[in-house]
């Protein structure tokens, strides 16, 4: 095992423009958000850092899920893909930046031949029904698998990771980025994927005023997960 870690932070520089994102146009929920923010007085925690510091970054994308049913508050977030064709890869861990009322359920890897031509993963529920075939997160992915190509496309397919979460208290929570630690031919690497998701539980409509273009960014800020919009 290599003792050197190559840290490849995908959003090391703060973007000058607002992040591109998939948004939902949502109606006001100021009182609910104020209660949620007050409940997070302990702040979010950064699982990858022993000193508890937070990598406060604006996300490059914010994903929305429909308001969750109180009987099943799980949701999924898919990381951008890892591309290492012809190399042996092993995912070591995924460490999300999340509000304290969010529970990390589990994560799994989707190997190239099982990706079913989908370009993203995540949404309501966990496991993601769009990926019926997947592997334990830390299972070694052989070079023959990362080199896999379909007969109709000579381009190798990337590795995908899907992470499951649950809102365990309150009616709003969020995740803002995931640090993935992995090995490539035995060498350890890290990448921080700056993708966020805001999740609400019914009857919270999970929406801001129609003229509030930055409601979801304000949610991340008020939950202690991102800089001020």
Residue 185 lies in a domain: yes
Question: What was the pLDDT predicted at 116?
Answer: 65
Write the CB contacts of 190 (distance below 8 Å, at least 6 apart in sequence): 5, 6, 7, 8, 48, 179, 180, 181, 182
Per-residue tens of pLDDT for the chain, all 229 residues: 333 333 444 433 333 333 444 443 333 333 334 333 333 333 333 333 333 444 668 898 898 889 999 999 999 998 878 999 999 999 999 999 999 999 999 999 999 888 766 555 568 899 877 777 889 999 999 999 999 998 888 888 899 999 999 999 999 999 999 999 999 999 999 999 999 999 999 999 998 887 677 899 999 999 999 998 8
Residue 132 main-chain phi, psi, to 5 deg: -65, -25
- Structurally, the chain folds into a number of domains equal to 1
pTM score, whole prediction: 0.77
Question: What was the pLDDT predicted at 121?
Answer: 53
Residue 229 lies in a domain: no
Helix (H) or strand (E) run with residue 57 in it: none
Residue 154 lies in a domain: yes
Residue 181 lies in a domain: yes
Question: What was the pLDDT predicted at 16?
Answer: 31
Question: What was the pLDDT predicted at 205?
Answer: 92
Residue 228 lies in a domain: no
Question: What was the pLDDT predicted at 5?
Answer: 35
Instruction: DSSP letter for 210, please.
Output: T
Contact 196, 96 (CB under 8 A): no
**How many residues are given for the chain?**
229
Task: Give Cα separations from 41 to 6, 34, 35, 36, 226 (angstroms).
Answer: 34, 12, 11, 9, 15
Residue 12 lies in a domain: yes
Boundaries of domain holding 199: 5-222
Check whether the bond before 8 is cis (ω within 30° of 0).
Answer: no
């Amino acid at each position: 095992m290599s003792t050197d870690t190559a840290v490849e932070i995908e959003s090391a520089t703060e973007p000058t423009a607002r992040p591109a994102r998939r948004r939902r146009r949502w109606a006001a929920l100021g009182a609910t958000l104020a209660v949620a923010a007050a409940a997070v007085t302990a702040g979010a925690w950064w699982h990858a850092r022993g000193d508890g510091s937070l990598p406060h970054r604006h996300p490059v994308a914010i994903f929305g899920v429909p308001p969750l049913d109180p009987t099943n508050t799980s949701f999924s977030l898919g990381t951008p893909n890892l591309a290492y064709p012809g190399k042996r890869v092993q995912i070591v861990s995924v460490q999300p930046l999340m509000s304290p009322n969010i529970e990390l359920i589990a994560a799994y890897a989707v190997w190239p031949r099982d990706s079913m031509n989908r370009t993203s993963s995540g949404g309501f529920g966990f496991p993601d029904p769009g990926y019926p075939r997947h592997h334990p997160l830390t299972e070694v992915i052989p070079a023959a698998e990362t080199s896999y190509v379909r007969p109709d496309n000579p381009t190798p397919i990337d590795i995908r990771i899907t992470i499951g979460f649950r809102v365990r208290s309150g009616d709003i929570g969020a995740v803002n980025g995931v640090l993935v630690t992995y090995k490539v031919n035995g060498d350890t690497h890290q990448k921080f994927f700056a993708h966020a998701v805001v999740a609400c539980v019914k009857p919270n409509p999970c929406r801001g005023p129609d003229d509030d273009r930055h409601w979801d960014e304000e949610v991340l800020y008020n939950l202690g997960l991102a800089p001020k919009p």
